[in-house]
Amino acid sequence: MGIYRIGIDVGGTHTDAVLLDQNNQVLSETKSSTTEDVATGIYNAMHKIIADAKVPREEVKYAMLGTTHCTNAIVERKRLNKIAVVRIGAPATLAVKPLIGVPNDLREELGKHVYIVRGGHEFDGREIVSLDEKHLYEIADKIKGKVDSIAITSVFSPVSQAHEGRAGEIFKEILGEDLAISLSSEIGSVGLLERENATILNASVVNVAKTAADGFINALKNEGIEAKVFFGQNDGTLMSVEYAVKYPIFTVACGPTNSLRGASYLSNLSDAIVVDVGGTTSDIGVLVQSFPRESSLAVEIGGARTNFRMPDLISIGLGGGTIVRIQDDGTFTIGPDSVGYRLPEKSLIFGGDTLTTTDVAVALNKVNLGEASKVRHLNKELLEKVYQRMVELVEEAVDKMKTSSDPVPVILVGGGSILLPEKLNGASEVIRPEHSGVANAIGSAISQVSGQVEKIYALDEVGREKAMEAAKEQAKAEAINAGADPESLVIVDIEDVPLAYLPGNATRIRVKAAGELVQEEKDALTI
């Protein structure tokens, strides 16, 4: 009896799916269109790979979903929860109230019930003032029946979670266990406004995540599959449905992450630069020990500045459908607009009227696609210049992502990667793995389970070694909690940053542990 897993990645244009066996060999793959309701697209893709692979349905044990549901909801400001925003920190922080600096439409949507309560901590863990519990009870009464999700952010909660935790308890006590509660210390790091924004966004997409999860589970059931379901998160690891519904914000940007992880798996490389060429853009990211390098800068989601972990990516306006415009004097522009998913009708080689990057590559015999006769009349010398510029755009982006000028391996994935040559400046080698068109879905299917901890430690008090040990243990416990096999746990990332100007040798330590998914069924069989 086999154990099979399904990996699905829902992107803006395509929904990709793969079915893998227990050795992670690809048995079937598909690329279908993303549908307006998302669920239909998932169902279609899943139906096809199961039919193609012809494996017994009861042997499909795991299903992993990477999806843009939550990102879309935030960007479109649709289907968001009715939330309350509670900040604990008064009398501090009143000069910058929640959601200042967030675009007006989002502020209107999410800023209907905003409260600032007395409490919060100093950088060294002292209380600014004691927590105003009476005010919290009053707020709970006021918002009863009006909201279904609460975002709670306390000043310096990455140092002390006490006030956030207590506030959460009070709301549960008055409003019941069903209410969704998002605590900022579990979502972002130091930087009040950015962490608060991330927490608010998290609270606002709880229902969206629930609907996505239910839809996925139902689609599986309709196919006769009883699989354990996981969601992909943006650090390239999995979370259980329960976890995903609590921390849906971590699904944002999991698509590019899945591509990176898939590229690592397919090429068997742990450290490399990955170029994912889509129809409209190319995303360039960096693999460090098989995981995406994280961005150190504030990241905007739907116009709101946040600081939770995100893969460090740059996006350039170059894809398979990017429009090339040539002027009479021989000058030209490449993009940034694209025919996107309409490539099969718009581009010259498919009988359309728009010159695209794909047409350029076909005309120069770099790619064998469509009807080459339709681009034979074009000026090759000029197209050669266009092509060179396309390659340069990628080379510049690769260079920007490097940490030194040493050449590094470059892995090409995504449907549009056929455009790119066998050699790139700055690359020690260019790798184009098999199944690279669905690297993202593969990345989704092979994900590991992780746990992370990020805290400020006063090293003068606890000592560096003890602090590190404590952080590692906590990260491992988090990973096991999320479903990782304790035997396979590895610490994949350690970062410690001394905080300037602070006494006591205050240091922010971040540790991430990751391991294989516990394969309960497998264990059960061997007994």
Residue 268 touching other proteins (CB under 8 A): no
Residue placing its CB nearer to other proteins in the complex, 406 or 487: 406
Query: Could you say whether residue 522 binds other proteins (CB under 8 A)?
Result: no
Interface with other proteins by CB under 8 A: which range of 191-199, 207-215, 346-354, 361-369?
191-199
Binding characters for other proteins, 494-513, by CB under 8 A (x = yes): ----xxxxxx----------
Looking at residue 224, the DSSP 8-state letter turns out to be: T
Report the nearest approach of other proteins to the CB of residue 194 (Å): 8
Choices 61-69, 190-198, 366-374, 466-474; region in contact with other proteins by CB under 8 A: 190-198
The residue assigned the tokens 């020990």 is: 289
Selected range binding other proteins among 49-57, 186-194, 225-233, 327-335, rule: CB under 8 A: 186-194
Compare residues 117 and 360 and give the one whose CB is closer to other proteins. Answer: 117
Residue matched to tokens 């600014």: 128
Token digits of residue 128: 């600014």
The correct pick among 103, 125, 191, 303 for binding other proteins (CB under 8 A) is: 191
Other C-beta atoms lying within 10 Å of the C-beta of residue 176:
9
* Cis amide linkage into residue 503, ω under 30° from 0: no
Helix (H, G, I), strand (E, B) or coil at 339: coil
Pick between residue 340 and residue 504 the one whose CB is nearest to other proteins.
504
Taking contact as CB under 8 A, which single stretch among the options 18-26, 93-101, 237-245, 350-358 is the one that binds other proteins?
93-101
Integer angstrom CA distances of residue 271 from 64, 294, 347, 410: 24, 14, 36, 9
Q: Tokens for 402?
A: 């490097």
The SS3 call for residue 483 is coil
Select 369 or 497, whichever has its Cβ closest to other proteins.
497
Q: How far apart are CA 185 and CA 187, in angstroms?
A: 6
Distance CA 440, CA 442 (A): 5
- The nearest distance, CB 191 to other proteins, in angstroms, is 5
Task: Write down the least CB distance from residue 97 to other proteins, Å.
Answer: 6
Cβ contact 164:98 at 8 Å: no
Scan residues 278-297 and list those touching other proteins (CB under 8 A): 297
Residue from 7, 11, 66, 89 that binds other proteins (CB under 8 A)? Answer: 89
- The contact mask relative to other proteins for 128-167 (x = CB under 8 A, - = no) is xx-------------------------xx-----------
- 236-266: string of b/e by CB count within 10 Å (b at 16+)? bbbbbbebbbbbbbbbbbbbbbbbbbbbbbb
Closest CA to 4 of 66, 63, 87: 63
Q: Which stretch binds other proteins (CB under 8 A): 104-112, 382-390, 395-403, 467-475?
A: 395-403
Q: What angle do helix axes 206-222 and 192-204 make, rounded to 10 degrees?
A: 40
| Footprint of other proteins (CB under 8 A) | 89-97, 100-101, 120, 122-123, 126, 128-129, 155-156, 190-193, 297, 399-405, 498-503
